[in-house]
Structure 1
Amino acid sequence: MKLIRPLLFHFLLYCATETLGVKIQSVPGVNSEGVIQTELEKTVSLVCQSDGDHESQADEELVWKRNGAAISLTEENKKGHSSVCVTPIIYEDNGATFTCHLSKNATVTASVTLNVTLEEEAVLVLQCDIWANPPVFSVSWKLNGSTVDLLAGGFSVTNDGLTSRLTAKKMKKSLHEGTYQCTAESPIYGGHSKQFIVAVTEKTLKVPLMPMIAGLVVVCLTALLAIASRWDKITKCCK
């Protein structure tokens, strides 16, 4: 009996450990550092499920958060298996951390972070929410600590009182990569800033595969038809 109790204790401990766990699966996949690489206008699908025995999974209620803020879920999307879809991907999703945890135990958690990459010649749009009462009296944009050079970088800034947008129509790695900072100054609340880290990759040459295949098929068929039409002459020459 002395040998059975420790074994039974370890078995129960193992079951409890298996039940109290969550894991996140994603499309596209997540790397070993918990980062999902994606691009603008793409879709990221996240699925969280309790990682334990099958019977307990169906009863575990799950909670999703984005950067610490709760995501609203339907009741049928909470128990044991919960999905979140991020579409279309915008640049504000860059660096966003999605966390899933058990409702009854927030320490049992799993998380992934989005990394949105931009190609050269893509359109860059950065946005700051600046609504305040009383209104802010100034909004400034900086790139790598210096005031954004609108002319040199081909930037434009718009401000509708609610948001301030910094736009560049054709990005270049040498001009647009770096850390951006938007700062809004309020007469009551002082200055508040938001940062964006923009990584630009070199534009890849995308070869249109289907037109190439179609062209090769046409060339091959033309050659075969030419051979077939002159087959008699070819056979006579070979005799």
Structure 2
Amino acid sequence: MNMKEPERLFLITLLFCWVDETAAVTVHSDPAGDGGVVQIELEATVSFTCLAPSGGGELQWFRNKALVDLKEGNREERSHLCVWPVTREDNGAIFRCQLKNDASVNSSVQLEVLYAPQLNGTEQVSVKEESEAELSCDSRANPPVTVVWRFEGRMLDLSSGGYIATNNGVTARLTIPKVIRANHQGLYTCVLDSDIYGQRMKSFQLSVDDKTMKFPLEAIIAGLVVVLCTAALAVVSRWKRIVKCCK
């Protein structure tokens, strides 16, 4: 049966692997890479095949700088390595294959793990009036996301209301240094926008309670000491009078 042209092209694309032709050791990847970088989805599987020249000897694999333990029969001239499932920690990892007896003969590929931010649901947050409130959401994603905060469904104006917004690529935070119920109580939403995965959101229902009156503990202790000392002096004075009368 003759294969149709679209099917043939699809098969060629599926089987194609990136090859580093500049070294005597070559690495093939599935899925294919581009310029030594392999893009892969989170929790997917990526496999590598390392080929050495005929009679080249034993091969070694490294993940970054750590030696990978290979089984017998998977070291001579052709070596296979499989990563499954791919995790966030694999993002940026470099897999290098080299000759055991000549580390200068090597070839490597780098993983770029694509994953969406993990956000959902609503969190209840309660704070005292005039205290500090901090709302945070996990902003880890690849490619990186843009972060927008909303208040009661509208984009939050960070220039007013005493808000401070930060994002270090791991956690996006919205800080309110001094909460005022009339201004800050309500529904906040952390919106992460990804070019690949679209929007992910998490909401926070901020409730502001009456502030707690703080008692001056030091003054109370000092007052108790004065009262106790006065009472003790009164008892001593009274006792002296009783003794004097009995003589």
TM-score, normalization by structure 2: 0.42
Larger Rg: 2
